[in-house]
Amino acid sequence: MLRKLLALTTLALAAMPVHAQEAPRETIVIADQRIPTLEMRAQDAEIEALTMLERIARRDDAGPMLNAVIAANNAAGQQAEDAVLNGTLLSGRAVLVKDNIETVEWPTTAGSLALADNRTNRDAPLIARLRAAGGIVLGKTNLSEWANFRGDNSTSGWSAVGGQTKNPYATDRNACGSSSGSGAAVAAYFAWAAIGTETDGSITCPASVNGVVGFKPTVGLVSRTHIVPLSSSQDTAGPMARSVYDAALLLSAIAGSDPADPATAAADEYAINFTQELGSASLLGRRIGVLRNQVGDDPRVTAVFEQALEDLRSAGAQLVDIEYEMDESMWADEYTVLLYEFREGIAAYLQSSPADLPARDLAGLIAFNEEHAAQELRWFGQEVFLAAEQTTDREAYEAARANSFRLAGPEGIDRLLAENQVEFLIAPTEGPAWPIDLVLGDHFANGIGAGSLAAIAGYPHLTVPMGDVEGLPVGLSFIGAKWADHAILQAGAAYERVRSVTLPEPRFAPWEPE
């Protein structure tokens, strides 16, 4: 298992010069206000990065052992200081990256021992953009192995490489997935923000249950090159942060076209500074569609959602109830699409890696898992892999993709927005975190959320914390049309400002009744 060394971080902190820890620094005085100098800001960025490394060592490798981070960058402090002095957009902010996204520092494993040596010595284009914008790669985060697309009765947040990720709000409860480590790490203050990836719920669910902001952008806004794939039609990377503003800032750094990813051909047209007008965004007069059938039947989640609706009304929003039932064939066809695209996509990725890998296609991965069953298959199998290996009918795949997209996009989100004359749709994102159960697998709440619509259509989906159930966070989803990313972020920021509830803080302990 890839682990960090507590000693390295402790030594880094101990080695900090005294003036960096406690001595006063020079400031510029303008109109009786003390303005930090560039050198002060650089020093602060260095201290913040080192503090985050110390938190990771204290609470991820020791203490509650959240298992959210599987590799850490002990040079982050100096890198943060240098980035501030270079005067770039992110100014040395430290970002953790899901371990299915390539970075030059470490292997990219997708949580599987089959990729434990997948050191490609290359940055994914979104990581290159992050660095160019002054962001610091603080480390890699744990995830649900193979983006939770390997076997039945799986447990979100478990991987053979990183073990089981725990929820900082209740360490005996699940962090959801597949961007489990990214969500838990941001909630635990291990980084300023993190990058996750989503095919269907893998950013928004962990963001919701870990009490952070998560944004799944329009597919094609962010490059997917050098990311371990699941679905060419649904995959996207996106930001996870503690505020909508921070998520928007991180998105501003990583969005943009990539010649190697045809889906991003129009990205530069929409890749703006997404923090623009967030502070002045208003809900006054905004028509919002409330997906009543996607609230679920848990009265505690409903009560939290109703308070969020009251906050929106108080801010001047016009709420429009929408009764909508999803067509069951949408999910069946989505599954066919994912099976077909994964088989093709993973073979292309494995064959493109310059590393010495034990498998170069899905059949090879299946064989590897069988050979390493004690480590890989102890808790659940690889039924999904086996099904994907047999999903080879391209005509059936194309029909499934056409139908699932039609139901989610043109006849789903687009129709609901147009017929009800609303700007976006809202619903609870997910229920509260469930107990970790490696024996029986996940226990998702049924009937809560509408994220699959945005995932299958490739449209933007934002989740913002809206409250909690017995100390366990739940999020509010904002879903909009294709390329409406900025408008969705503005709406989320406006809600964030008028939210009336007090959000809980992580307890770093097993759940107890309040």
Known catalytic residues are 98, 178, 202
Write b or e for each residue in 159-180: b if 16 or more Cβ atoms lie within 10 A of its Cβ, otherwise e: bbbbbbbbbbbbbebbbbbbbb
Contacts of 332 (CB under 8 A, 6+ apart): 400
The half-sphere exposure of 119 on its side-chain side, counting CA atoms within 13 A, is: 5
Distance CA 180, CA 166 (A): 8
| Distances in whole angstroms, Cα of residue 411 to Cα of each of 72, 212, 320, 330 | 45, 30, 18, 11
| Distances in whole angstroms, Cα of residue 256 to Cα of each of 36, 197, 202, 213, 298 | 32, 16, 21, 21, 40
Distance CA 178, CA 164 (A): 12
For 32, counting Cβ atoms within 10 Å of its Cβ (0-12 exposed, 13-18 middle, 19+ buried), the class is exposed
CB contact at 8 A, 57 and 138 = no
| Distances in whole angstroms, Cα of residue 273 to Cα of each of 254, 278, 330, 341, 489 | 11, 10, 34, 32, 11
Length of the chain: 514
| Distances in whole angstroms, Cα of residue 390 to Cα of each of 44, 228, 394, 401 | 54, 20, 12, 17
CB contact at 8 A, 215 and 247 = yes
Amino acid 305 reads F
What's the 3-state SS for 358-375?
A: CCCCHHHHHHHHHHCHHH
String of DSSP letters for 435-480: BP-TTT---PPTT---HHHHHHHT--EEEEEEEEETTEEEEEEEE-
User: How large is the angle between the packed helices 383-390 and 362-371, nearest 10 degrees?
Assistant: 150
| Distances in whole angstroms, Cα of residue 368 to Cα of each of 70, 74, 83 | 22, 32, 42
